[in-house]
Structure 1
Amino acid sequence: MLEARSIAEAHLYLEIQVCETCNLRWDGSQHSLRTLGDRPVAVYSVSCSSCGAQRQWEFLMPREPFPPGPLGGTEPSKIMDPGEFHAASDVYFALARDAVEQAVPGEYEKVAILLRRSIHALAEVPKFIPPAEDRVPAELIVSEVGRASYLRNPDRFVRDRIEHEIQDLVDLLHRHLPGADPVD
């Protein structure tokens, strides 16, 4: 069972998973809740529209219903590595860039949602940096997606670079929606 810090983190985890048979994203999820002792457990059943494979994930959720932060608290994730968060941020940014091209000027709410998701995912990466260091240790990046992200550009896992990228995303959000809060 995976231990998620929030429902938002569990959803992000599911969004980056692919079918082991055909390597396509899962779709058609069904959600249910149960308890384990005094903790809620979110159960997601998914299916692959391409090959028909089915899979189920169970997430042990925190006792508190709304942990601080968009994805959950100040501690690093136990279910995603920093490379996965970086890759997710890149995907959301690419979707936002595409949405800008299709949006009617002044109607950028979809762009804002995608940019916020990009910011939230990227803001998770520094949580993996030890206090006395300036970068994510490579050994903390254990997933295939994370390693691919890291190998493309290891300098993107340096604290100063991450902070600069987050600020660029916030500036872009404000350009399309002046006064928008990046944490919404």
Structure 2
Amino acid sequence: MTHRLARTVAEAHLFMDLHPCEVCGEEQFDRTAAVILVEGELLSRYTGVCPQCGSPREFTFLLPDETPMPDPDEPSFGDDRPSELLDAGEWLWVADEITRTIPAEPDGMTPDERRHARREVRTAAAAVAEARKFVPPGADAVPVGQLWSLAGRAVYDAEPGRFDVQRLELVERVYRELADTFSD
């Protein structure tokens, strides 16, 4: 069996969050993590039980050769390689979901709310950066073949121009600038 690489713990958890229980559709479950060796490969295995229907849940990912240390101020989902777990459209969907709940201005927010908003918008910027990694060197946009999920393809079909490399760079930069407006 071929396992797909989870470049970071954050990427693995996001993938699990986006793949609900196949029996009842519940998205969350308490996870127990373990590192296992299968056929000479180090894998991370997450197991748990669906809190809604009691079905067992399990996800297994290939571990990277090097595990980057997470920076609490600068979210990251992986190295320079494109994700093997989420396609470019899913990354843009994640960014959309995050920014949908963030106010455009920090006025009236408590310091804790501002810190949370800054972290969320930086996470959205990191998700857009992940989508940009699917643009091959010298290309102008993410190739349609890099959209293998139904969700990712739906994002592409709704607005293919979002996958242009210049637009991806601009959106990432705008999100990073927006995140700075929430600084204390």
CA pair 102-84 structure 1, distance change in 2 beyond 3 A: farther
1:91-148 residue CA offsets vs partner (Å, 9 max, x unmatched): 12124349x6994257411112211211111101111112232111112101111112
- Residue in 2 that maps onto 1:58: 60
CA pair 19-171 structure 1, distance change in 2 beyond 3 A: same
For 1:95-174, what aligned pairs fall within 5 Å after superposition?
Answer: 95-97=101-103, 103-104=109-110, 107-174=113-180
Once the two structures are TM-superposed, the CA of residue 87 in structure 1 deviates from its matched residue by 0.9
Query: Gaps spanning 5+ residues in structure 2: where?
Result: none
Counterpart of 1:34 in 2: which secondary structure? Answer: strand
In structure 1, give the amino acid aligned to 2:115.
E
1:59-79 residue CA offsets vs partner (Å, 9 max, x unmatched): 111121227982221111112
Matching residue within 89, 114, 123 for 1:83: 89
Give yes or no for contact 1:5–1:67 (8 Å, CA) kept in 2: no
**Residue range with higher mean Cα deviation, 3-12 or 164-173:** 3-12
Give yes or no for contact 1:26–1:47 (8 Å, CA) kept in 2: no
TM-score by length of 2: 0.83
Give yes or no for contact 1:67–1:73 (8 Å, CA) kept in 2: no
**Residue range with higher mean Cα deviation, 133-142 or 44-53:** 44-53
Give yes or no for contact 1:81–1:143 (8 Å, CA) kept in 2: yes
In structure 1, give the amino acid aligned to 2:172.
I
- Residue in 2 that maps onto 1:182: none
Counterpart of 2:148 in 1: which secondary structure? Answer: coil
Query: Gaps spanning 5+ residues in structure 1: where?
Result: 179-184
Identical-residue share of aligned pairs (%): 29
Q: Which has the higher helix share?
A: 1
- Residue in 2 that maps onto 1:31: 33
1:28-70 residue CA offsets vs partner (Å, 9 max, x unmatched): 2222222347753211114333332222011111121227982
Give yes or no for contact 1:26–1:46 (8 Å, CA) kept in 2: no
TM-score by length of 1: 0.83
The alignment of Structure 1 onto Structure 2 pairs a total of residues equal to: 177
- Residue in 2 that maps onto 1:181: none
- Residue in 2 that maps onto 1:9: 11
- Partners of 2:47 and 2:112 lie apart in 1 by 38
Give yes or no for contact 1:17–1:26 (8 Å, CA) kept in 2: no
Counterpart of 1:31 in 2: which secondary structure? Answer: strand
CA pair 106-3 structure 1, distance change in 2 beyond 3 A: closer
- Partners of 1:124 and 1:17 lie apart in 2 by 19
Give yes or no for contact 1:84–1:145 (8 Å, CA) kept in 2: yes
Give yes or no for contact 2:119–2:179 (8 Å, CA) kept in 1: no
Give yes or no for contact 2:7–2:77 (8 Å, CA) kept in 1: yes
